A = this chain, B = another copy of it.
């Protein structure tokens, strides 16, 4: 039987929307948003799209009207009653009412602010300006839209069985990874792949496949909508934008030096347990830990998001030991550029020494490498970052100079303030 009503309904859509919900975003965005809403509600920020993969000429691949339609559709979204109920009623990280009533009321009335879109040198300049808690929520949907539209441009050229075989190959490829991961005793791994996913439906498939294939080893997804629909844990903590904006707002070098810790002081007032995860690499992990106040060593764990991950974890272990903490009780979350081999290696190296955990991103939800000619569906390095706060530029150094951003003179100043010397350069694929 043909379901005529469904067919007619589907053809009524003017576009096929990529992002259909305000909670089709990373959980940590909402956590950070609540924190910003409380601590810096009036800070004016600019977020900008940055395509680190210059050879992917997005403005030539993606039609501007189509992009505008998708972005406009996102601006039409508001929190649904069911989504609000889920956020208000759910237990996150063992805590009821993680989201406070004042924040929820604000979120229920939120529409995303306008965007600015221009073409330049074959790339899109996509900029969001406004109050920090509003603008920050553009990051994930903007990235997901651009990544999926680039994919759609390639898929549009393919025939029906080519498409079916493409997804068959992608499924088989992911399942082979899952079969390898099944062999890792005590693995803990979550989906962190929303922002650079191939598509929403594909991410949803990947999450379900991980759930069936890995069982309790699969600890959840960062995507709130998928967590809600699939009855999974929504996971994630905090990101670089907090220290970047706090630092940009600092008036003096001394303020700047203290800014990354001030972020965590504010965080600590709201959170506990597995949400007390340090993200140390914004201005260099080594210096950050050396100069950290003692209370930070009592936090639950650390997230390693740039540089050589094994080195980052060793640095953290040495630091905990130097502060009299037992590393075996600490959580280390690896989340940068993971594939199944790196997961195996890192797990083997650190299991027993710390509590190991993985946040698997792009190569979980978008490993279409090698599946079409010219690798036209391979993921690439697209980010959307806070570039200024109250008119001052932000800076990121990271543990990999290729991930650094900000004006050159400001980078030099930050390096001086945070005592960052020579860094090891690593390729950035995703």
Taken together as a complex, chains A and B put the C-alpha atoms of A167 and B165 apart, in Å, by 10
Determine the chain B residues whose CB is within 8 A of the CB of A9 once the complex forms.
1
Q: Mark A160-198, 1 if CB is under 8 A from B, else 0.
A: 111011011101100100000000000000000000000
Shortest Cβ distance from A169 into B: residue: B172
Minimum Cβ distance to chain B for residue A254 (Å): 55
The answer, yes or no, to whether A216 is at the interface (CB within 8 Å) is no
The answer, yes or no, to whether A213 is at the interface (CB within 8 Å) is yes
Determine the chain B residues whose CB is within 8 A of the CB of A213 once the complex forms.
161
Taken together as a complex, chains A and B put the C-alpha atoms of A165 and B209 apart, in Å, by 9
Taken together as a complex, chains A and B put the C-alpha atoms of A160 and B164 apart, in Å, by 18
Minimum Cβ distance to chain B for residue A155 (Å): 15
With A171-B165, A212-B162 known as contacts, the answer to whether A1 contacts B1 (CB < 8 A) is: no
Q: Which of A193-244 contact B (CB under 8 A)?
A: 208-209, 212-213
Contact of A168 among B159, B162, B167, B208 (CB under 8 A): B167
Determine the chain B residues whose CB is within 8 A of the CB of A159 once the complex forms.
212
Taken together as a complex, chains A and B put the C-alpha atoms of A172 and B161 apart, in Å, by 11
Question: Are B161 and A208 in contact, with the CB atoms below 8 A?
Answer: yes
Minimum Cβ distance to chain B for residue A179 (Å): 9
Number of A residues with CB within 8 Å of any CB on chain B: 21
The answer, yes or no, to whether A5 is at the interface (CB within 8 Å) is yes
The answer, yes or no, to whether A6 is at the interface (CB within 8 Å) is yes
Taken together as a complex, chains A and B put the C-alpha atoms of A397 and B423 apart, in Å, by 77
Taken together as a complex, chains A and B put the C-alpha atoms of A168 and B5 apart, in Å, by 30
Shortest Cβ distance from A1 into B: residue: B6
Taken together as a complex, chains A and B put the C-alpha atoms of A1 and B5 apart, in Å, by 8
Determine the chain B residues whose CB is within 8 A of the CB of A169 once the complex forms.
168, 172, 175
Determine the chain B residues whose CB is within 8 A of the CB of A164 once the complex forms.
171, 209
Q: How many identical subunits does the complex contain?
A: 2
Shortest Cβ distance from A3 into B: residue: B3
Minimum Cβ distance to chain B for residue A86 (Å): 21
Q: Which of A1-46 contact B (CB under 8 A)?
A: 1, 3, 5-6, 9
Minimum Cβ distance to chain B for residue A7 (Å): 10
Determine the chain B residues whose CB is within 8 A of the CB of A5 once the complex forms.
1
Give the one of A6, A159, A161 with max B CB within 10 A: A161
Determine the chain B residues whose CB is within 8 A of the CB of A171 once the complex forms.
164-165, 168
Question: Are A161 and B212 in contact, with the CB atoms below 8 A?
Answer: yes
Minimum Cβ distance to chain B for residue A183 (Å): 15
Taken together as a complex, chains A and B put the C-alpha atoms of A175 and B172 apart, in Å, by 13
Minimum Cβ distance to chain B for residue A156 (Å): 16
Contact of A160 among B160, B168, B172, B212 (CB under 8 A): B212
Shortest Cβ distance from A170 into B: residue: B168
Shortest Cβ distance from A4 into B: residue: B3
Taken together as a complex, chains A and B put the C-alpha atoms of A4 and B355 apart, in Å, by 48
Give the one of A6, A162, A165, A171 with max B CB within 10 A: A165
Contact of A3 among B1, B162, B209 (CB under 8 A): B1
Q: Which of A142-168 contact B (CB under 8 A)?
A: 159-162, 164-165, 167-168
Question: Are B161 and A209 in contact, with the CB atoms below 8 A?
Answer: yes
Determine the chain B residues whose CB is within 8 A of the CB of A3 once the complex forms.
1, 3, 6
Taken together as a complex, chains A and B put the C-alpha atoms of A209 and B161 apart, in Å, by 6
Q: Which of A25-83 contact B (CB under 8 A)?
A: none
Shortest Cβ distance from A159 into B: residue: B212
Minimum Cβ distance to chain B for residue A173 (Å): 9
Shortest Cβ distance from A212 into B: residue: B161
Minimum Cβ distance to chain B for residue A57 (Å): 29
Interface contacts beyond A1-B5, A3-B3, A168-B175: sample of 4 additional A-B pairs, CB < 8 Å, sorted by A: A160-B212, A164-B171, A164-B209, A172-B172
Could you list some 26 contacts between A and B, CB below 8 A?
A: A1-B3, A1-B5, A1-B6, A1-B9, A3-B3, A3-B6, A159-B212, A160-B212, A161-B208, A161-B209, A161-B212, A161-B213, A162-B212, A164-B209, A165-B171, A165-B172, A165-B175, A165-B209, A167-B168, A168-B168, A168-B169, A168-B172, A168-B175, A169-B172, A169-B175, A172-B172
